[in-house]
Structure 1
């Protein structure tokens, strides 16, 4: 049977169809696309309401809490810090270190923090702080009793050597040493008193409260006045400069 040749219009349509078919992406052509709905939902979920009032006690408390949980330091430090890990070797031989009484705490130094009224050291066990009797004449110094001094924005922080967590408080003002970064609730100021001793203070809203040792040794708490007098004893490795 004779076949008719395609007309000029049919030939043009076939060429266009061929061109379209060639340009269509195949299943192997994997391309990344944006999910606009999920993107908008994510943006909305983290946005702060425009009508929230920043001066109410409730909103201020939420902002204060967020300051301690969302900081640039958290992103940098949390990848490497493990506040619940404690070194197996919890004693340091004092034959290789020196203890400097009534020291002034500076960033990078390691210190014992003593309640001089009862000769007790502030220690940390699995993130929980307590006061334990100590004798500086003993052969060993527990790593749970050693704190690394840090500074940020004019405040000081104290990181436990054994546990790796910063001393601070939670929403209910219970003190512990679990935070892997230094933020608002882990920030202290120190006030030098007589005989080389210190008050340790923490910001309580717009006033400075004093950190005091509990009589039963179960930890510390914040009070407006009549706080504990603390002594910082620097732990100095032999060969290290004062």
Structure 2
């Protein structure tokens, strides 16, 4: 005895999931709608997630400068510039962006120290002036954020996190893309 599986299966499928066909030029062309299609159409009409508005480093504004993956921020701790997790309201992690001769500078309002670099390629915040070693410019990173670049001799060096995960050093290679959070 032979069972007609096609008609048996068709009877067990709910009407909204059935497939019908029409004949065009002798070929069977499916003209169907399924529950899956209906669910996917709802999925495609869902509004996109809101995009995070990125803040551009700009003179006259105060920022938290943060590495977005770890969430750690540039902070002065006992006189040293370091990458640290947020430490509450103790200060040392706000940076006033200033401009001099077209170069940006970042000054800690608590200690009045400018971020800069020493001659060994380590970033520091130990001077109260905005001169050549404290000059910065920024460059938009294609993946988001901004590179911090500083002038040294004939190069623009990028700021990068040192191997210890806390110090900040110069590099000619890939730099760290920083997030600027306006406060």
TM > 0.5: yes
- Backbone CA RMSD of aligned residues: 2.0
TM-score by length of 2: 0.66
Q: When you count helix as a share of all residues, which structure comes out higher?
A: 1
Higher relative contact order (CA 8 A, sep 6+): 1
Q: Which residue does the alignment assign to 2:149?
A: 201
Give the match's secondary structure for 1:144. Answer: coil
Rg comparison, structure with higher value:
1
Map Cα deviations across residues 130-153 of structure 1 (whole Å, 9 max, x no partner). 111239xxxx45421111101111
Residues 213 and 142 of structure 1: CA distance in aligned 2, closer, same or farther (over 3 Å): farther
Q: Which residue does the alignment assign to 1:158?
A: 106
TM-score by length of 1: 0.51
Q: Which residue does the alignment assign to 1:112?
A: 64
Q: How does 1:1-242 map to 2 (within 5 A)?
A: 102-134=54-86, 140-194=88-142, 196-235=144-183
Q: When you count strand as a share of all residues, which structure comes out higher?
A: 2
Q: Would you say the 8 A contact 2:84–2:166 is kept in 1?
A: no
Give the gaps of 5 or more residues in structure 1: 1-99, 236-242
Q: How many residues align?
A: 132
Map Cα deviations across residues 192-217 of structure 1 (whole Å, 9 max, x no partner). 12354101111121121111122433
Q: Would you say the 8 A contact 1:126–1:163 is kept in 2?
A: no
Give the gaps of 5 or more residues in structure 2: 1-51
Q: Please report how far the alpha carbon of residue 173 of structure 1 lies from its aligned counterpart in structure 2 after TM superposition.
A: 2.5
Map Cα deviations across residues 162-216 of structure 1 (whole Å, 9 max, x no partner). 2210001123233210110100000011001235410111112112111112243
Separation (CA, whole Å) in 1 of partners of 2:130 and 2:153 = 18
Residues 126 and 212 of structure 1: CA distance in aligned 2, closer, same or farther (over 3 Å): same
Residues 132 and 195 of structure 1: CA distance in aligned 2, closer, same or farther (over 3 Å): same
Moved over 6 A (4+): none
